[in-house]
Amino acid sequence: MTKSEPRNVRSAVAQMPRTFVLRHSDFLRHSSFVLRPSTVLALLAVANGPLCCGCRPDGSAQKPLAVVISGDTAGWIVPCGCAAKQLGGLPRRASYVRQLRDQEEVIVADVGGAPHGTSPYDRVKFEAILDGELATEVAAHNLGAAEVALGPDYLEELARSLSAPLISANVRLADGRPLVEPLRIVETAGRRIALVGVLSPRYATDQLLIEPPREAVLEALRDAAGQFDSAIVLAYLPEGELRELAASLPEVDAVVGGPTGQPVAPELIGPTLLTSATNKGKFLARLDAPTASGERWKGSIVELGDQLADDPGQMANLKRYYARLAELDFAAGRTGLVPPLPADTPPDYRVAGSAACRKCHEQECGQWERSKHAQAWASLQKTGAQIDPYCQHCHTTGYGLPGGFVSARRSAETANVGCESCHGPAQGHVPDAKTRTTYYAQAKNHCLGCHDRENSPDFAYDTYWAQIRHGEKSR
């Protein structure tokens, strides 16, 4: 991201009208959106006054309208592929939206929680996620906890440089001014949908205040009175707070969370529909607009499994992200994936590299070479993911440790899961076998650091150890 342009966005926001009306024509500058004849007719219908709800000027039935909402992406542009049948990813999300657009008018929005952390690496990844969302014509991206943690200056820059439609009705700068627009109103197929964003006050930072969500929603809607027909709240709140908010907002049609772990199946709380899109972007929440007067919005959860093809545009976006990572070649210390070492770390706490073990451990080295650990880098290379630090931190030796893996361009010798991934940095042991390896007799306790439930759901020590058994007294 270029830092050269002057930062005057903050004052621009302060002068902006509180409501931002987004017409579908605004999408034209982003991507391949084509204004459909039905949209034009429907907009004309609005301009000429109401004809009849659910009818087009020619009397034919109106195209149904769905709002597709993602959230809690947590840095997952694509599922890692470590295990079979993983859900989620922007390529599937986009392909779902594309298929639905063939039959319906679709508005896309995001509840927030897209970044994974705040490191320079996490920022690049977040920008790639936003690029991917913009390609699906996202109408509003609410600020979640992870977005707010990135700080106001960066968020303002993003809103400007990517034209990202960031919204929040209750996140404020320290002086009380809004950071981004409180809501967006999307007009499509003769309907005007207000998308309002809020965040739980528990995620306030030293730079950003968070006002009570309910009051902020009501204020934003009051300011936009008469400009919308339906209101949907994008609410990044833990489940308890989310339910309370839905129960206290009979004024809105739907409240969609949020970091709820598992998705909340759509349910009515009073007149308000509650649901959530969550869990590393594995599930989308879909809301269907009423088709006849007197009806309510309906909801469903969409699981992003491999029945959905990868969208080519999103795969191209992934390639651009990898190319940017290749260019930046982030060192482990700039990725936020490993904590810094304490200052009193002894100098021989250092990775020597698997090659340094061979002259004395020929047999173990031979066994290791035949194991999948010796292929871990090649597995990443199949999809170009070897450039991604997140993947590197489990598919290499001593990621971020002294002498261990630093970055793709710098660390060919420590690519792959080597001896010291399990035995610990062993520089002290190499010249003097009486000095024990760091994890002496404890190597078996270090499997779960990489073989966690997400990446290795079938892991069981006995069956896995049986496949890589080595050492003289092989247990």
In whole angstroms, give the CA distance from residue 243 to residue 221.
Answer: 20
Q: How far apart are CA 363 and CA 25, in angstroms?
A: 67
Max Cα-Cα span within the chain: 89
Binding mask 412-431 for ligand HEC (x = CB under 6 A): -----x-xxxxx--x--xx-
C-alpha distances in Å from residue 432, one per residue of 211, 223, 355, 358, 426: 61, 74, 16, 14, 10
The CA distance from 32 to 390, in Å, is: 31
User: Which CB atom, from 129 or from 357, has the smaller least distance to ligand HEC?
Assistant: 357
Closest CA to 212 of 247, 180, 241: 241
**Segment interacting with ligand HEC, rule: CB under 6 A, options 107-115, 136-144, 304-312, 437-445:** 437-445
436 binds ligand HEC (CB under 6 A): yes
Using the 8-state DSSP alphabet, how is residue 396 labeled?
Answer: B
82 touching ligand HEC, by CB under 6 A: yes
Q: Which of helix, strand or coil describes residue 230?
A: strand
Q: In the complex with ligand HEC, which residue's Cβ is closer, 28 or 440?
A: 440
CB-count burial class (<10 Å; 0-12, 13-18, 19+) for 214: middle
- Candidates 354, 407, 411, 414; binder of ligand HEC (CB under 6 A) is 354
Using an 8 Å Cβ cutoff, are 90 and 121 in contact? no
DSSP symbol at 367: H
Token digits for 442? 């404890």
Task: Report in angstroms the alpha-carbon separations of 406 from 12, 388, 389, 413.
Answer: 42, 12, 9, 10
- Of residues 61-80, those binding ligand HEC (CB under 6 A): 80
Helices (H) and strands (E) in the chain, counts: 14, 15
DSSP 3-state of 210 = strand
- Binding flags for ligand HEC, 367-396, as an x/- string (CB under 6 A): -x---xx-xx--xx--x-x--x-xx-xxx-
Could you say which of 114, 210, 357, 401 contacts ligand HEC (CB under 6 A)?
A: 357
To ligand HEC, the closest distance from the beta carbon of 164 in angstroms equals 23
Nearer residue to ligand HEC within complex by CB, 51 or 374: 374
**3-state SS class at 360:** coil
Comparing every residue's Cβ against ligand HEC, the nearest one is 471
User: Which pairing describes strands 191-199 and 183-188: parallel, antiparallel, or unpaired?
Assistant: antiparallel
125, 364, 411, 415: residue in contact with ligand HEC (rule CB under 6 A): 364
CB nearer ligand HEC, residue 343 or residue 441: 441
Question: How many residues interact with ligand HEC (rule CB under 6 A)?
Answer: 64
Q: Verify binding: residue 450, ligand HEC, rule CB under 6 A.
A: yes
Between residues 249 and 450, which has the closer beta carbon with respect to ligand HEC?
A: 450
360 binds ligand HEC (CB under 6 A): yes
Q: Of 410, 417, 402, give the one whose Cα is nearest residue 328.
A: 410
Instruction: Look up residue 443 and give its amino acid.
Output: A
**What interhelical angle do 312-328 and 90-101 show, nearest 10?**
150
Binding mask 136-175 for ligand HEC (x = CB under 6 A): ----------------------------------------
**Between 63 and 361, CB nearer to ligand HEC:** 361
| Residues 6 or more apart in contact with residue 137 via CB below 8 angstroms | 27, 30, 31, 33, 108
User: Looking at 356, 401, 408, 415, which residue binds ligand HEC (CB under 6 A)?
Assistant: 356
Q: Which one, 161 or 455, has the nearer CB to ligand HEC?
A: 455
Can residue 437 be called a binding residue for ligand HEC (CB under 6 A)? yes
Q: Is 240 helix (H, G, I), strand (E, B) or coil?
A: helix
- The answer to whether residue 465 forms part of the interface with ligand HEC (CB under 6 A) is yes
| Shortest distance, position 251 Cβ to ligand HEC, whole Å | 42
Contact assessment for residue 414 and residue 398, using Cβ atoms and an 8 Å cutoff: yes
Window contacting ligand HEC (CB under 6 A); options: 26-34, 93-101, 406-414, 456-464 = 456-464
What residues make contact with ligand HEC under the rule CB under 6 A? 80-83, 352, 354, 356-357, 359-361, 364-365, 368, 372-373, 375-376, 379-380, 383, 385, 388, 390-391, 393-395, 417, 419-423, 426, 429-430, 433, 436-437, 440-444, 446-447, 449-452, 455-456, 458-459, 464-465, 467-468, 470-473, 475
